[in-house]
Amino acid sequence: MTFMEYQGRTIAWRLLGPEAAPLVVLAHPLGMSQSVWDEVLPTLLSRYRVLTWDLPGHGGSAAASGALTIEALADELLTLVAQTGAERFHFVGTSIGGALGQHLLVHHGERLAAVVLTNTGAVIGTPDNWHVRAKRVRSEGLAAMAAELAPRWFSAATRENEALVEGWRAQLARTNDESYARLCEMLAGFDMRDAFEKRPERDGLYLLGGSDDLSTPPETLTALADCLNEPPLEILPGVGHVPPVEQPYALAQRLMTWLGTRGGNIGLHGVNHDEGLATRKRVLGAEHVERASNNATTLDQPFQQMITRFAWGELWGSQDLSVTQRSLITLAILAVLGRDGELVLHLKTAHRTGVSESELRQVLMHVATYAGVPAANHAFGLARQHGWGDQPASSHPEG
């Protein structure tokens, strides 16, 4: 876990996965913490870089010192995203996290790739109920209310796991009362119905809910779908308010499908230049790509545009393989063919794609076995020249 100072308070956050992988942001529900995503992470990290964080007063984040607004939460998140260097990102949000996702859709839609909103609504609950809860939290405290509130997150089947419910009850009891109350007041005024009027249909938007969700029941998701021009909506049977805790595997598999799906016309018209350029910058680094573009002439400018659309948009932009897998394949092919210029470039950027020294060693040993020792020996030499294998091999005692 990493900590960052933001407007006088500390934010607890995590950034996991290769620098060159597409970024996914995961936003947790009210009263919980970023650890709701722990069982989803292993699957996502096979393809993506993932950012999670704790809301004010939740988990490891410091309490809020002033009023909390949806705009303030969005600014906090975008500040964290800026630390990653990502221009665009996928977003997945549950409950209040889904409310934040709706705000981002309206006000920062150009920053978003795929968006998955779970167990949320254009309106969540009623203003009166949120104000009553905020008042109770301030007078009674979450430690006293947690036994009442925590079980409501889960379906009857999930509640049979008493240890799970007790664990999340303890998490809720540790949440800062005032921050929680202020977020309740924020939700009391949250209403996106007018904001979504006349919004164009958007590709890459998905809704998910639980059949046994007491806080945002299926009809709340259906009403949100109506506001959003009917994006795909799925209701998981036997699930309450927190799919990443109750059915993490099912949610992870859906995220891998939805986040990796491109627009329906890709197969007919290809990837546009901007999409390819974003992937090229993410993998090779913006400085290298800008230098290549600036050095292009009338002779090779069309070539630069072609490889940006095809190699980086169509190929590297596909999520069927991870950036680490693509990097390993590319290194092997370039080593076999002796394309030293491109091989050096990809050796330099392989750290960004998550290639380890042991993986590089195995790739080049495959090159030696199936394509020839001289090619592998030459590639090993180039790798050493460009920062790989800095440590001398350990000596091993005889016997």
What gap in Å lies between CA 383 and CA 340, rounded to an integer?
Answer: 11
Q: What integer is the mean pLDDT of 242-268?
A: 82
Q: Is the CB of residue 54 less than 8 Å from the CB of residue 26?
A: no
Tell me how far CA of residue 135 lies from CA of 112, 143, 188, in angstroms.
36, 14, 12
Q: What is the pLDDT of residues 302-325, one digit of tens each?
A: 888 888 888 888 889 888 899 999
Q: What are phi and psi of 60, to 5 degrees?
A: -95, 5
Domains of the chain, start order: 2-259 (3.40.50.1820), 266-385 (1.20.1290.10)
Strand order in the sheet with 89-94: 2-6, 9-16, 49-53, 23-27, 89-94, 112-118, 205-210, 233-236
CA angle 95–97–100, rounded 5-degree value: 120
The residue assigned the tokens 């006349």 is 198
What gap in Å lies between CA 175 and CA 1, rounded to an integer?
Answer: 18
What's the distance, CA 189 to chain centroid? 27
Q: What is the pLDDT of residues 105-164, one digit of tens each?
A: 999 999 999 999 999 999 999 999 999 999 999 999 999 999 999 999 999 999 999 999
Indicate whether 266 pLDDT > 80: no
Mean of all residue pLDDT scores within the chain:
92
